[in-house]
Amino acid sequence: MQKFNDLQLAKELIKFPSITPIDAGIMNFLEKKLKKLGFKTKILEFKEKGFQPVKNLYARLGSKGPNFMFAGHVDIVPPGNIKDWTINPFRPSVKNGHLIGRGANDMKSSIAAFVSAISTFLSKNKKFSGSISLLITGDEEGDAVNGTKKVVDYLKKKREKINFCLVGEPTNPNKLGEMIKIGRRGSLTSRLTIFGLQGHVAYPQRANNPSTIIVKILKELKDIKFDKGTKDFQPTNLEVTKINIDNTADNVIPATAEATFNIRFNNKHSSKSIKKRLNKILKRISKKHKSKFKVEYRVSGEAFLTKPNKTTFMVQNIIKKITKIRPKLSTTGGTSDLRFIKAICPGLEFGLVGKTMHKVDEAVSLKDLKNLTKIYLNILQNYFK
């Protein structure tokens, strides 16, 4: 049975400039590696009007249950100004005990740790009872339309049974072992346009300034106290991210004003209940000022929580054994593809330290990479006891 080295494999994966949603050949490369371990693989390319096509990979070894799945992404964010890097971001280099390169932290090194751990496990457990699978997407950093969401739909149609999923996102704030994610807040982005009436600034009575209205709306929305948080979640928060008035003249009252805001909400709310509350405020204020508005909503995901079970606690104990830190079960931070996977199985997220993700000179500690592979290997050994 072939064994893969986590560091070598991480280097090979980083060399692919797989900037969302570009595949750059990385799925075919990974598929070949998994076939060498005996996996049955399928590259799934999905297309949807208005979005670029994306390649994904589902691989499974074994036909019996239980089926333990590793999930993650090989797409990356752009490197930014390459001159700001100390190396070429797609020519990985080891410096001062760290592997540097775009995707080293988020999350090609975790993918390498998955595969390396599986190869070691299989070399010692040729006839284990159950299945190991991988769901690898190329659309986590982008629109998340043609990625994991559609793979999950495919698995549902195939009636593929997954018993537990581990997503390898970088979950630790400062040290490996600090944090496991067992849920995430929902995310709702709103794009609001207020239609006023253009006119001369010296004659405001002949116009209807949309900037006045949008400022009042945003102030009222920002002042909403959605909740105080829960035992498992931090409070819901609304943040204004863009305000735009496209007006080239200083003596003209504009015709339109636009704003974008995002709400991260806990499981006290749903996107539906949030939208209902927002629409009520928008209608009231726009009616008072005799203006029209348009609002577009995009829901990235609903709030979710995976109730800890014996597998969660097993993973927690293994992490403590290897890192000497008992990881906190948390729901903090952004969202992840577990928001889609939760529809077919329970799961959690555990990966590297996220300090350098999306930054210049993104890096992973070689010690952390080695220990992460060891953690993943121990999880497999315990899960299939």
Catalytic residue among 6, 31, 75, 349: 75
User: 140, 361, 362, 368: which is the annotated catalytic residue?
Assistant: 140
- In total, the chain counts a number of residues equal to 385
Q: What is the spatial distance between Cα 67 and Cα 158, in angstroms, rounded to a whole number?
A: 14
Rounded CA-CA distance 347/275 in Å is 28
In the sheet with 186-195, reading across from the earlier edge strand, the strands are 237-244, 256-265, 186-195, 292-301
308 burial via Cβ count (<10 Å: 0-12, 13-18, 19+): middle
Which residue bears the tokens 């807040």?
Answer: 185
Q: Whose CA is closest to 306, among 166, 150, 156?
A: 166
Write 234-241 long-range contacts (CB < 8 A, 24+). 234/185, 234/266, 234/331, 234/332, 235/266, 236/185, 236/263, 236/264, 236/265, 236/266, 236/268, 236/269, 237/263, 237/264, 238/262, 238/263, 239/263
Strands of the sheet with 363-365, listed across from one edge: 93-95, 98-100, 363-365
DSSP state of 187: E
Buried b (16+ CB within 10 A) or exposed e, 188-211: bebebbbebeebeeeeeeebbbbb
Beta bridge partners, 191, equal 260, 296
Is 169 annotated in the active site? no
CA distance 352 to 175: 8
Catalytic status, residue 23: no
H-state helical runs in the chain? 6-14, 26-36, 108-124, 148-157, 210-222, 271-288, 310-323, 338-341, 366-383
**DSSP class of residue 73?**
E
SS3 98: strand
Kindly list the catalytic residues.
75, 140
